[in-house]
């Protein structure tokens, strides 16, 4: 494997997975016990969640965890950054005391098909629901009555029918959006969409009726980390939200420190909490789950877990409109199709630009932000040794 010069995006899921598996020999140069693990998705042929684990040579002081592709299409940027972590930062870790868990494509179906969701249209980041009572079935937590506001505005989020004219579809969407904004305002409408819902299988941010197998696999890996190591440092890669040229580190609302406090400690200018004021509210967030697991079962351990959210279109009102439109139109295209191949290509291009930009300036800034945040966090957490 050739060392990637900047950000080396894979051409597809299969290439990315093969590239990830090839990292094993490089990791074994310093962690002889390193091994690959995988979970093959039920009924989906050759789709696997792959991970690379490496045990420390001596004490089990800490583990560095990196995850990508919870939202499938976002794994293209995540895979490029995972390579950078291996090439740039693993040589600076102490293999005697630091273990590794690197997870490739939590949502392999979504990565392969360049969709955000899995094969059942489930947004996996609405399925990591903490269960405070172990006896409660997981399905009981996926309450279809949750977030009734989504159903009240479903016509905006789930327009039906095959695409005809893109211009007419855009006009109709804009008019419907304006009417909904007049009714409840920007913040409440945004929360209705993003919070998650468990009632409409063809809708946005659908969390399903039970825990998906992808979620179960990751939950078990996180538990193993807490059971094995005194400290967990976890970085999760996402794209789409925030300023175009400033990656945001998104911390859980369960993280005890404030955002300004973390900015000072980690030397990074853009750290926010996943709440209504600083980010957006959602139920079933993976980082929140890691913190809830730590709080209720492993509080004697040390934890920092956060998402690196690489903004793509930008955070102006117009670009927020473009972001939501791209998701609504891609979902409509998936279910109903388009008469004109040019319309299909336009919708697919807009969706790709929302999660997987390839502009050189964007890539360079994304890499610079990744390095600054990774350096600051891992150094402050005592994971880097040089």
pLDDT of 249-299, one tens digit each?
999 999 999 999 999 999 999 999 988 888 888 999 999 999 999 999 999
Higher pLDDT, residue 358 or 102: 102
Q: What pLDDT score does 134 carry?
A: 77
Which of the four pLDDT bands, split at 50, 70 and 90, describes residue 2?
very low
pLDDT digits (tens, 9 = 90+) for 184-230: 898 899 899 999 999 999 999 999 999 999 999 999 999 999 999 99
Q: What pLDDT score does 1 carry?
A: 44
Q: What is the mean pLDDT of residues 52-61?
A: 96
Residue with tokens 């040229």: 245
Q: What pLDDT score does 5 carry?
A: 54
Q: 20 with 85: CB under 8 angstroms?
A: no
Q: Is the pLDDT of residue 60 over 70?
A: yes
Half-sphere exposure of 278 (CA within 13 A, CB side): 16
Q: Is the pLDDT of residue 55 over 60?
A: yes
CA distances 281 to 127, 188, 307, Å, are 14, 10, 14
pLDDT digits (tens, 9 = 90+) for 154-191: 999 999 999 999 999 999 999 999 999 999 898 899 89
Q: Which range is least confidently modeled, 45-59, 129-143, 208-222?
A: 129-143
Alpha-carbon distance 75 to 310, whole Å?
A: 12
Task: Classify burial at 9, counting beta carbons within 10 Å of its beta carbon; exposed 0-12, middle 13-18, buried 19 or more.
Answer: middle
Residue with tokens 């050759």: 46
Q: What is the mean pLDDT of residues 134-161?
A: 93
pLDDT digits (tens, 9 = 90+) for 14-35: 999 999 999 999 999 999 999 9
Q: What is the mean pLDDT of residues 377-384?
A: 96
Q: Is the pLDDT of residue 7 over 90?
A: no
Q: Is the pLDDT of residue 350 over 90?
A: yes
Higher pLDDT, residue 280 or 361: 361
Torsions phi, psi for 251 (to 5 deg)? -100, 160
Q: Is the pLDDT of residue 3 over 70?
A: no
Which of the four pLDDT bands, split at 50, 70 and 90, describes residue 233?
very high
To the nearest 5 percent, what fractions of the chain are helix, strand and coil? 45, 15, 40
Q: 197 with 148: CB under 8 angstroms?
A: no
pLDDT digits (tens, 9 = 90+) for 72-120: 999 999 999 999 999 999 999 999 999 999 999 999 999 999 999 999 9
Q: What pLDDT score does 15 carry?
A: 97
Domains of the chain: 13-129+211-312+358-380 (3.40.630.10), 143-204+317-354 (no CATH)
């Amino acid at each position: 494997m050739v060392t990637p010069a900047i950000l080396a995006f894979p051409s597809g899921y299969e290439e990315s997975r093969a590239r990830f598996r090839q990292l094993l020999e490089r990791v074994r140069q310093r962690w002889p016990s390193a091994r690959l693990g995988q979970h093959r998705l039920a009924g989906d042929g050759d789709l696997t969640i792959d991970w690379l684990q490496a045990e420390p040579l001596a004490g089990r002081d800490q583990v560095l965890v990196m995850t990508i592709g919870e939202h499938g299409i976002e794994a293209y940027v995540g895979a490029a950054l995972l390579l950078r972590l291996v090439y740039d930062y693993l040589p600076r870790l102490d293999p005697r005391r630091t273990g590794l868990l690197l997870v490739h494509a939590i949502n392999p179906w979504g990565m392969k098909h360049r969709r955000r969701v899995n094969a059942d249209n489930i947004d996996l980041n609405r399925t990591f629901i903490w269960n405070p009572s172990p006896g409660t079935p997981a399905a009981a937590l996926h309450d279809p009555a949750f977030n009734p506001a989504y159903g009240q505005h479903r016509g905006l989020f789930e327009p039906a029918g095959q695409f005809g004219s893109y211009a007419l579809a855009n006009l109709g969407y804009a008019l419907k959006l304006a009417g909904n904004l007049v009714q409840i305002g920007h913040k409440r409408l945004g929360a209705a969409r993003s919070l998650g819902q468990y009632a409409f299988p063809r809708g946005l941010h659908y969390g399903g009726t039970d825990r998906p197998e992808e979620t179960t696999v990751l939950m078990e890996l996180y538990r193993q980390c807490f059971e094995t190591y005194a400290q967990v440092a976890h970085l999760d890669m996402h794209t789409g939200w925030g300023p175009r040229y400033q990656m945001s580190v998104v911390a859980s609302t369960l993280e005890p420190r404030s955002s300004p406090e973390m900015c000072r400690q980690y030397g990074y200018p853009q750290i926010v909490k996943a709440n209504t004021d600083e980010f957006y509210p959602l139920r079933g967030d993976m980082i929140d789950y890691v913190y809830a697991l730590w709080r209720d079962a492993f509080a004697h351990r040390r934890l920092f877990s956060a998402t690196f959210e690489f903004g793509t279109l930008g955070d102006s009102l117009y670009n927020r409109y473009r972001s939501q439109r791209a998701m609504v139109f891609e979902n409509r295209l998936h279910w109903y199709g388009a008469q004109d191949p040019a319309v299909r290509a336009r919708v697919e291009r807009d969706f790709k630009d929302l999660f997987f930009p390839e502009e050189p300036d964007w890539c360079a800034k994304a890499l610079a932000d990744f390095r600054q945040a990774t350096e600051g966090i891992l150094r402050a957490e005592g994971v880097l040794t040089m």
